[in-house]
Chain A
Amino acid sequence: MAHKKYIVGIFDDEDVVKDAVGKVRGSKVKIQEVFCPYPVHGLDHALGYDRPRMGVPAFLFGITGTSLAFLLTFWTMGIDWPMNIGGKNFIPFPTNIPIVFELTVLLAAFGMAFTFFFMEGLGPTTKPVIFDERSTDDKFAMAIDMSKNTLSDAEIQTILKESGASEVSVKEI
């Protein structure tokens, strides 16, 4: 596997890293990603990412759950084997609402979660690309892909140090 060259800046504080992202991007350096031990609010905005729209898969899976539940209850009780239960309607409305609700929630939750895993490539066999193992502990690691940047190593390292990185290293991953 071809190794790619990265410059990794380590930051100690969430506010420093947030400001640094602005400064680094202001110097026309493309950031690959910033790895954090916990969610830092506003960092995705600073990096110029779009607002996450996980509500879309949740809604789509949810509405699928609703439709399937209506189909299931209406078809089984009304069409496939209609049964007279205490003189109630063959089409079990609204007594099927609990079922419809539960299946809506079930499909929305699992559908959204698996969409998230799929989008992020998360899975039990995924080999994570770790730039610095401390980024799941207490450090923030800013990775810069050298193949996507025109500035030289030294220039990027200076920019990182000036924006508050406590360590800067070059890594081949």
Chain B
Amino acid sequence: MSVVSPIREHLVTGGKTHHDVTEDICRHVEAKPTKEWKIALTISILVLIYGAGWVLWTWWEGLGVWGLNKTVGWAWDITNFVWWVGIGHAGTLISAILLLFRQKWRTSVNRAAEAMTIFAVICAASFIIMHMGRPWLALWALPLPNTFGSLWVNFNSPLVWDVFAISTYFSVSLLFWFIGLIPDLATIRDRATGVRKVIYGALSLGWTGGAKTWARYEDVSLILAGLSTPLVLSVHTIVSFDFATSVIPGWHTTIFPPYFVAGAIFSGFAMVQNLMLITRVVYKLEDYITIEHIGLMNKIITVTGSIVGVAYITEFFIAAYSGVEYEKYAFLNRATGPLWWSYAAMMTCNVLSPQIFWFKSLRENIVVSFVIAVVVNIGMWFERFVIIVTSLHRDYLPSSWTYFTPRMADIGDYMFSFGLFSTLFFLFSKFLPVINMAEVKSVLKTSSEKPAKY
């Protein structure tokens, strides 16, 4: 007999039975695509094609088509990379860390969040490839035997750590997501006929759901969660090392790893919130993704936003306390220099805006949640822009001080990643179950559970 907390709301409302869960989720996979979905997918693909044109142009002409200059040698490209990687933190965090903490509410959101993670990491990786200028040489980042007398990669370099971190994170997240999908794919297989049965049958690996298989499956999930938890934290830690191990004032701070991880969770949850709210309305999943879920997500957004806020203030204090002139100037220039507006945008969007979630009525308001989630992601983009560009644009020699203005190629490449992300997400939401049916079924109330009367 399971223990049910009398003070908790039901995780799934509307008195759903196990069969209702199957029907509600499978319906979207089995039905013919709707007109709205086709229109949305077409727009995404058009954006993707437009962006792809700019990416090809970037490779054809060289990285000179970006707005970079001698002083600012790294701008939108790396900003977008860090932004997407950060967004890609929420899915595995929800499925791994919240699994370890036994947060059962994650069951309704983990599938879509994990899918989003995988797509966000693909977008992030696309910026790494764009960076290379010569993408056909991408495999040089790997320690492969080569024709230069086998000159190996430098394992002391954070850029090489990044290659390992991102690719491990991507593959382990994909594995975790796929293992979570197997029982649900079997559910679809057992309802399907024809070609669909063959495809879902192959994907579900012949799953039957025997008690022994389930016991091992749960053990595998738990261990994968245990392995993924430090992995999630390691990825943004290593991304922050790209900056923290350099000698640029404003970058080489020891606070970067926890600060980046908190920011990543912050922006990732905001993106999950956005996608969840849209999916909820479009697929009519109000009984699965309840107001309680939205409220809980907003609480995490507020906590991580506040951690990020403390980190911003700590950086300033440490710069002042260090007594290093360059360090002090870097931070003063960040807040009051020519790019002050990006700093102000970052502070307002990331630190101030989530504070409205201290009020329960706003925390559980759908429109407010959606707007704040968008604002948070804008803020988190500016955070990376602030860290990267404001630390570079005024270097040690005032004669080389400059400003950064993006060109169309910067914008087009960024649009490419949006097109890629939304195309992948729309395809996912049509062809795969957007909610983990097996896990949701396991949190529904059964006959033996008699919630305390109060």
Which one of B38-46, B128-136, B143-151, B419-427 is at the interface? B143-151
| Contact A106:B172 (CB < 8 A) given known A76-B143, A129-B208 | yes
Check A43–B211 contact: CB distance below 8 A. yes
Check B447–A135 contact: CB distance below 8 A. no
User: What is the distance, in angstroms, from B257's C-beta to the closest C-beta of chain A?
Assistant: 11
In-complex Cβ contact of A101 among B143, B182, B210, B234 (8 A): B234
0/1 string, A104-148, CB within 8 A of B gives 1? 011011101100110111111111111001111110000000000
CB contacts (< 8 Å) of B171 on chain A: these are 106, 110
CB contacts (< 8 Å) of B435 on chain A: these are none
Which one of B115-123, B159-167, B386-394 is at the interface? B159-167
Task: Give the contacts of B168-182 with A (CB-CB under 8 A).
Answer: 168, 171-172, 175-176, 179, 182
Task: Give the contacts of B418-454 with A (CB-CB under 8 A).
Answer: 438-439, 441-442, 446-448
Check A99–B161 contact: CB distance below 8 A. yes
| Contact A83:B154 (CB < 8 A) given known A49-B211, A105-B231 | yes
CA distance A139 to B292 in the complex (A): 29
0/1 string, B280-324, CB within 8 A of A gives 1? 000000000000000000000000000000000000000000000
User: What is the distance, in angstroms, from B324's C-beta to the closest C-beta of chain A?
Assistant: 21
At the interface, yes or no: A22 with Cβ under 8 Å from chain B? no
What range describes how many residues of A lie at the interface?
35 or more
In-complex Cβ contact of B209 among A36, A72, A103 (8 A): A36
User: What is the distance, in angstroms, from B133's C-beta to the closest C-beta of chain A?
Assistant: 23
CB contacts (< 8 Å) of B143 on chain A: these are 72, 76
Check A40–B212 contact: CB distance below 8 A. no
At the interface, yes or no: B17 with Cβ under 8 Å from chain A? yes
Check B220–A113 contact: CB distance below 8 A. yes
CA distance A88 to B31 in the complex (A): 61
User: What is the distance, in angstroms, from B386's C-beta to the closest C-beta of chain A?
Assistant: 26
Check A138–B17 contact: CB distance below 8 A. yes
In-complex Cβ contact of B438 among A14, A35, A39 (8 A): A39
0/1 string, A84-97, CB within 8 A of B gives 1? 01101000100110
| Contact A34:B1 (CB < 8 A) given known A58-B227, A102-B164, A124-B205 | no
In-complex Cβ contact of B152 among A41, A80, A120, A136 (8 A): A80
0/1 string, B208-222, CB within 8 A of A gives 1? 111111111111100
CB contacts (< 8 Å) of A126 on chain B: these are 205-206
CB contacts (< 8 Å) of B211 on chain A: these are 33-36, 40, 43-44, 47, 49
| Contact A128:B207 (CB < 8 A) given known A39-B438, A39-B442 | yes
Counting chain B CB atoms within 10 Å of each CB, which of A102, A113, A128, A138 scores highest?
A102
Check B224–A52 contact: CB distance below 8 A. no
CA distance A108 to B1 in the complex (A): 34
CB contacts (< 8 Å) of B220 on chain A: these are 54, 112-113, 116
Task: Give the contacts of B224-272 with A (CB-CB under 8 A).
Answer: 224, 227-228, 230-231, 234, 238, 241
CA distance A123 to B207 in the complex (A): 9
Listed from nearest, the 8 A-B pairs whose CB atoms lie closest are A126-B206, A138-B18, A44-B215, A76-B152, A122-B205, A98-B161, A52-B219, A15-B448
Question: Could you list 8 further interchain pairs (A-B, Cβ under 8 angstroms) beyond the known A16-B447, A113-B179?
Answer: A37-B441, A95-B155, A112-B223, A120-B216, A128-B208, A130-B208, A133-B190, A134-B190
Pairs across A and B, CB under 8 Å, 22 listed = A14-B446, A38-B214, A39-B442, A43-B215, A49-B211, A49-B212, A53-B219, A62-B227, A73-B155, A76-B152, A77-B156, A95-B156, A96-B155, A99-B164, A102-B165, A102-B168, A105-B168, A116-B216, A116-B217, A133-B190, A136-B186, A138-B18
